[in-house]
Amino acid sequence: MGVHELWSILEPVRQSVPLYSLSGKTLAVDLSLWVCEAQHVQGMMGRVTKPHLRNLFFRVSSLTLMGVKLVFVIEGDAPKIKTETISKRIEVRYGSNKAKSAPKTAKNPSRGRFKAVLRECAELLDCLGVPWVTAAGEAEAMCAFMDSQGTVDGCITNDGDAFLYGARTVYRNFNINSKDPQVDSYQMSRVQDELALSRDTLVGLALLLGCDYIPKGVAGVGKEQALKLIHSLRGTTLLQKFREWSSVPAESPDGLLKKVSHCLRPKVKMSMRRRMKASEREKLRMRSLAEALHQLRDYLPAGYSKQGQPLTKIQTLKSTIQYIKELASLLEHE
């Protein structure tokens, strides 16, 4: 979910802060995150009929008692470009063997079955007197917009796309049940100052590494390669560089290749048969080289060979180079 490898890239600026430090703040919550987390709690599987409602009730109660104000954001209709990502999530949810028996509504990008669960959560929030809004599209986009406009003090989401949408502060990985409740905090100001990653650069990373809209990213490009490319640009963002590359005429592929960094060229994997052929060719080449060196020994003067001991390959090469230098010197003086 979100940009691949983003949280590991942002690890240096992660701060684990006490949950009580959120007291007095107003936070936008990506409701789908809490629903998905409740579905994977082992202790509630088979014991709780509707774990999403139980999880929502206790989390809201705990945070409200701490003085945290919450505004929940419910998912709207998913963009069509995200269909591939949603289909993969449905396969995980229903199982690859049950894909055919999954409800027809689940195959629709509107996520009909999941929306029914969100509606139940909305009814519970109404009973608790907690405000909620429905996003026009992605919930994390709405959370980020509210944060960027100063309507809230931060977002609660696991989706790193929030930073790409303009979020300033993101909280994730709640630990409410422990004696010392903690939460991970990420500040966009620190991401820019300490990691030199702007919002435009993060969008470029999403295109390279893969995200919900481009799941596979660019073949052959990993986290380390992408970061090296960013640091080599020296002030130019990835999006600016992409625009420069896109302006190169299509009829001049050589010019385009010169502008594209080596790390962006996908590595071609060799098949086992091709590897064996390459290995055989290398063996033949080394065998031919050994034979040539063996013949070369016969042309060297006797003074270059050790008495009773044949020259090694390296000794033969060194002696040949020395002999050629001496011959060249003699020819120059003639």
The tens digit of pLDDT for each residue in 290-308 reads 777 777 677 677 776 665 5
In the chain, what are the domains? 6-200 (3.40.50.1010), 218-269 (no CATH), 272-333 (4.10.280)
pLDDT at 23: 95
User: For the whole model, what pTM was predicted?
Assistant: 0.66
| CB within 8 Å of 84: residues ≥ 6 apart | 215
How far apart are alpha carbons 82 and 264 in whole angstroms? 24
Instruction: Give how far Cα 80 sits from Cα of 19, 87, 94, 109, 209, Å.
Output: 37, 11, 21, 7, 20
What pLDDT shows up at residue 132? 97
Strands (E), the chain: 15-18, 26-30, 69-74, 132-134, 154-156, 169-175, 182-187
Dist. CA 259–CA 2, nearest whole Å: 28
The Cα 76–Cα 328 span in angstroms is: 82
Note the pLDDT of residue 61. 94
Query: What pLDDT, on the 0 to 100 scale, is given for residue 157?
Result: 93
Please report, rounded to a whole number, the percentage of residues in the chain having pLDDT higher than 90.
34
> 308: phi > 0 → left, psi -120 to 50 → alpha, else beta; which?
left
pLDDT in tens, 238-280: 788 788 877 766 555 554 444 444 544 555 556 666 666 777 7
Looking at residue 246, its pLDDT comes to: 75
Q: Are strands 15-18 and 132-134 parallel, antiparallel or unpaired?
A: unpaired
Q: Residue 40 gets which letter from DSSP?
A: T
Whether 106 has a pLDDT exceeding 50, the answer reads no
For the segment 128-136, the average pLDDT, to the nearest whole number, is 95
Q: Give the CA radius of gyration of the chain.
A: 31
Sign of the Cα pseudo-torsion (162, 167, 173, 176, in order): negative
Please write the tens of the pLDDT for every residue from 146-163. 999 999 999 999 998 999
